[in-house]
A = this chain, B = another copy of it.
Amino acid sequence: MRLTVLAGGVGGARFVRGLRAARPDAEITVVVNTGDDLWLAGVRVCPDLDSIMYTLAGASDEDRGWGRRDETERVSGELAAYGVGWPWFTLGDLDLGTHLARLAMLRDGLTLTEATARLSERWDLGATLLPMSDEEVETHVVVAADDGAGRERDMHFEEWWVRHRAALPALRFEQRGVDRARPGPAVLDAIAGADAVLLAPSNPVVSIGTVLGVPGIRRAVETTRAPVVGVSPVIAGAVVRGMADACLAAIGVETSAAAVAAHYGSRSAPRRTEDVGTGQDGKGTGLLDGWLVDTADADARVEGVEVVARPLLMTDVPAAAAIADAALDIAERVHR
């Protein structure tokens, strides 16, 4: 069974780990958001790829929720002593090993896809990680400049997210470079050739949204013959992890399981009322066949989408596996 997941960082990582536990024999491919990637001290950092790799490898720091277990910050301490760096962005030593290994590969001419495959070889991931694109895409956040003159300023998503804890109201997100980006070489086939496509409970705006923004990927999801099932990142009107509500607000989407599903759209019903007659209506204009929500959101209804309610807190691997299982159940049921 070929299962393809669109995913961001930690939420995506835990979902994929559950999926691997639920379907150990499946061929799992994860199309990963790279819009959070950044150059830091001349080194290429890929937060989402690494979160997923570490989590699947069993090398992640589960308590902290990010980075490597048994991490140290010797190099970071030196950078700080030299007055270099981003006090808000921790570069752990083990984590830096990944960034540097990747940098060496990129400098040797490997693509990000190839470098990711090389890095993955070290671990027993039980899944193939595909960067959404080999081209650089950087998500920037536009906020009010706080100059009293109504001007705007922007910053890299990671700065907004990690440094400002998403507390500065985002006016909008700009996925720089996304229009020119091409999907990674195996991405479209992984979506088109899957037995099921799953949208992980990742940030719908800056994770899944960025992946879908790469020209060709949204269309591949819309048109794949596989059922497409999403897992809600919102439970009872609150995001489970992170601060995705701040992102949803910026794009005018309510923080609710139903609103996120409506934002993704149905593959079999007009996507939004205002799209009718714009060429965006009708079959193939939305992304979802099924939508898994938490039991707290059991009353969620989305036109043209099969909504099922199950407990969605990924408290441990069995819980995540049960969630993945439920998503696959929907996929089987809606299979056309």
Which A residues form the contact surface with B (CB < 8 A)?
39-43, 72, 74-79, 81-85, 93-94, 96-98, 100-101, 103-107, 118-119, 121-122
A79 touches B93 (CB 8 A): no
Minimum CB–CB distance from A136 to chain B (whole Å) comes to 14
Of A40, A43, A101, the most chain B CB neighbours within 10 A belong to: A101
Query: A96 CB to closest chain B CB, in angstroms?
Result: 5
Point out the residues of chain B lying under 8 angstroms from A96, CB to CB.
Answer: 75, 78, 96
Across the interface, A39 reaches (CB within 8 A) one of B79, B100, B106, B107, namely B107
Q: How far is the CA of A43 from the CA of B43 in the complex (A)?
A: 8
**A98: B residues at CB distance < 8 A:** 78, 82
Given known contacts A42-B106, A118-B83, is B94 in contact with A74 (CB within 8 Å)? yes
Bound complex: CA A98 to CA B42 (Å)? 13
In the assembly, what is the distance between CA of A91 and CA of B104, in Å? 13
13 CB-based A-B contacts, threshold 8 Å: A41-B104, A42-B103, A42-B107, A43-B100, A72-B74, A75-B94, A77-B97, A78-B94, A81-B122, A82-B101, A83-B118, A84-B101, A96-B96
Which residues from B are CB-within-8-Å of A79? Answer: 97, 100-101, 104
Q: Are B83 and A122 in contact (CB under 8 A)?
A: yes
Number of copies: 2
- A46 CB to closest chain B CB (Å) equals 14
Chain B residues lying within 8 Å of A76, measured Cβ to Cβ, are: 97
- Knowing A97-B77, A101-B78, the reply to whether A83 touches B121 (Cβ < 8 A) is yes
| A118 surroundings in chain B (CB, below 8 A) | 82-83
Q: Which of A41, A43, A106, A119 has the most chain B CB atoms closer than 10 A to its own CB?
A: A41
Complex interface: chain B residues within 8 A of A93 (CB): 72, 74-75, 78, 93
The smallest beta-carbon distance between A258 and chain B, in angstroms, is 43
Q: By the criterion CB–CB under 8 Å, are A42 and B100 in contact?
A: yes
Residues of B contacting A81 in the complex (Cβ-Cβ under 8 angstroms): 97, 122
Q: In the complex, what's the smallest C-beta–C-beta distance from A87 to chain B, in angstroms?
A: 14
Measured between alpha carbons, how far is A74 from B92 in the docked complex, in Å?
A: 10
Q: A78-B100, A78-B101 are in contact. List 6 more A-B contacts (CB 8 A).
A: A41-B101, A78-B93, A78-B96, A78-B97, A82-B97, A83-B122
- Write the nearest CB–CB distance from A109 to chain B, whole angstroms: 12
Closest to A93 in B: B74
Query: 6 tightest CB-CB pairs across the interface, nearest first?
Result: A78-B97, A42-B103, A41-B104, A82-B101, A74-B93, A42-B107
The distance in angstroms between the C-alpha atoms of A78 and B106, with both chains bound, is: 17
Q: Is the CB of B100 within 8 A of A41?
A: yes
Give chain B residues whose Cβ lies under 8 Å from the Cβ of A103.
Answer: 41-43
Cα distance, A76 to B98, chains bound together (Å): 10
A39–B107 Cα distance when bound, in Å, is 10
Q: How far apart are the CA atoms of A119 and B82 in the complex, in Å?
A: 6
Q: Chain B residues near A100 (CB, 8 Å)?
A: 41-43, 75, 78-79, 84
Chain B residue with minimal CB distance to A68?
Answer: B78
